Chains A and B, each alone.
Chain A
């Protein structure tokens, strides 16, 4: 119990707005710099050095954006739900800030995944949109993000908004697998034959490396942006506290 207590004490200490502000300020340049390097290297590798796909030619190269964006769209929702749960259970305000800062970023990743998927689908499937299971569940994920953001902006008291959103995110995250599998099931029953789904051969290592670089770059980009947004929110929420006034004075 004692260890648990001291762990919690450490977490509360780290999660206090003042310390978060200080530490995140140091982390952001590192995360941002690494993200920039990874994204540049990954893009160059993916666009110029990865081999041409035997079936799809050069147009497959959009996966280096599309797949990391789709991964992130789900990852960010998990982050939102987890930090929402943390905020509800241990009343750590910072977790609320992380959840609400994540929502627009996650929605942007989801939209990016949908748009790139659609651009990719046009030459491959011959249509901008097909009611493929993955596309559909990605679209529903976008709706879940939009609902989260709409609820947040509708409730005036920021603390009540954060708690309501945390509940919504948890309900959503429990439902995501159910929605995903029901959509998949629906799709296989309705149009398994009409969707010209491409065989997905196990990916070659020369394509996998830039893909993983991009995925890591996306993740670090998210970390950078979420910290920046969270810092702003923390400053705004704590604007009447001494340490924020000291920062303002120092500038």
Chain B
């Protein structure tokens, strides 16, 4: 019989040079055997810190300042390192986010499993190996008796995460802590892994703490959920109750910000919790925005573009092998519309964005902007296109001041007179909600969402007609995502911008796009009006993608208007 995990009044502190930082403040929660307990919150909420505190793996200089962690009747928070190590292997297991780095590439999967089994179950040699094969079979790895002798690199990402789960099960633990176990995986694999975790928890009566930022994962998988904000538990209870009838104001605003595949919103509700609100002054921006020239036909035409990357180089051209990342893709984007491209990782969606932007040369086909092939006049195209990147932490040069970053495209392309640039930059920073004085700071002084606003200001400085958004919100928390998506919608509606919107996140695409293209392995399998795509997809691959989306039906729809 496995024992429950009880955390009482846990406080974790990180004394830093300048001040004492309280990562977890007075947290109390219980995980029963066989229960999946979700810990949800935005980055910095302290959810991973709770996991680390249970495992005794707090990064230095973190320490448990108060409270107790009990496994059954045994107090485990103050154990010495040796006892903790024994416990960690035996009764507590962990599943990490990245299956690529949590397995040792130098040992076969079998060796890693057998080592753990021998250490904890007093089985040896043949018996341990037999057990390893059983486990692999149980986590759904086909042909386990041959695959047990393979190395981690011979497994795909999803299969590797299954191996990691098998490894976590080796010692027959009481508690498994899964820290963002599916964040690095594609949606189709995510669904399978979550199913597996759920089944195993039931079958073996293991308590699972599932740490995630994704409300969809919580809704689909967990029995109970605890919502954290800024180190504190704001709400805890059965999943259906917390998600369906949130009591706390933060939970409500968090749930309201989750994009729903089934409900197209005009705008996301403004998140006001925690004083994060900053206004985007679209009216001011629209006032002196040049009117969009009338365009006959589509603004952007993509004609059979192909991109091959060198797979194996050789001195002799005929011996080189290539990998085709984008295979004869064609689509049109009408003036003023938002065109979405969706697909799983490796489907070529970002490559297409970079090809259109001129960052990658084309290996075939052409891109026509406003009736003129881009290759004929790349300068003119550059003046009318801008891009918003995925990672707000790498898209701004950390050594440049914000005013320089925002001014660079406008200055370089010469779209506004030099003497006006300074005023334009200050005005733009004010209008994206950062205030004109933000220009005097450096990017590291801003949070992720604020950085993305700086990116938007930079893109708007040249007054482009066409905006490429490459996963603009996938690195952001859901509440910040809602703000940025609202801003992008404003830009499209009030300034008449045309957008190419790239995302792996179908609910986001539903909210943002007028039409959507679905990519699979570098080929465009379907182009469809968004509503139709979600309600009646044509292609089997699209159907599968939509079926596998985490369901959000449980989530409260309070305050949402279509």
A and B: real partners? no
- Interface of B with A (CB < 8 Å)? none
**A contact residues vs B (CB 8 Å cutoff):** none
